[in-house]
Structure 1
Amino acid sequence: MEFKNISEQIIQKYREDETLMIRLFVQWCTNHDLDPQALYKKAYPYQLENEALKKVIENDDGFDEFHIDNETMLDVLQLFGNEDLAFVVSEEIQQLSKLQQD
């Protein structure tokens, strides 16, 4: 019984952390006027709509003033194994840098 409870706690903690990662991604996109669903689709073109992403966007309680720097965003995505999304975000960072230089 105790093992099952620990397993459930670990699963719950992972889901909470995953939701936080998604919220950070959505906020990073908001900070840069990017569409999080479009970027996600670009990273994972063959996946169906990501329900967790959709839910975070719909329930956005807006911490709009919270700025996530580029390096942190990439680190968080890689920490969760979202290498493809980290690659797409990296490409967007390069494009944003070019626009700021012009």
Structure 2
Amino acid sequence: MNSKEMQEKIIQNYQKDEHMMILVFAQWCVNHDLDPATLYQKAYPEQGENPALQQGIDLTVPKEESEDIPDSTLLGVLSLFGNDDLAYVVTEEINNRSKKKR
């Protein structure tokens, strides 16, 4: 495998992992009755429509059919990809959920 092929392979793997991160985020939102597009827009108001996010949303399942996604797992995945602004918005939602339980 030459250098160019190796570079393309790395990019493909990163993109595949990024799509998985988006799907985890979108499914976590669905599981907690939150709109993924709204949360994403809150974190990144300067960005327009995100086709990758829409693809992730399209792949979600109803929360009754989904496995639980722990908050810590989502935050770890967001951190891994440097989505600090989104992690902040998610943390706010986690804190709001905790306040409602009291």
Fold conserved (TM > 0.5)?
yes
TM-score under structure 2 length normalisation: 0.92
- C-alpha separation in 2, matches of 1:61 and 1:95: 23
2:1 is aligned with 1:7: no
- Counterpart residue type for residue 85 of structure 2: D
Give, in whole Å, the separation in 2 of the partners of 1:57 and 1:73. 15
RMSD over equivalenced CA pairs, Å: 1.4
Which residue pairs with 2:87 in the alignment? 86
* Structure-1 separation of matches of 2:72 and 2:10: 27
Task: Tell me the TM-score normalized by structure 1.
Answer: 0.92
How far residue 66 of structure 1 moved from its aligned partner, in angstroms, is: 1.4
Unaligned runs of 5+ in 2: none
Match of 1:65 in 2: 66
- What residue ranges of structure 1 are gaps of 5+ in the alignment? none
Instruction: Tell me how many residue pairs correspond in the alignment.
Output: 100
Structure 1 residue 62, shift from structure 2 partner: 2.4
Q: Shift of residue 37 of structure 1?
A: 0.1
User: Structure 1 segments of 4 or more deviating over 6 A?
Assistant: none
| In 2, Cα distance between equivalents of 1:88 and 1:12 | 28
Q: Deviations over 1:57-85 (max 9, x none)?
A: 22x15274211111111111011000000
Alpha carbons of 1:57 and 1:10: their partners in 2 closer, same or farther (altered >3 Å)? same
**Alpha-carbon deviation of 1:7?**
0.5
CA distance in 2, matches of 1:25, 1:56: 8
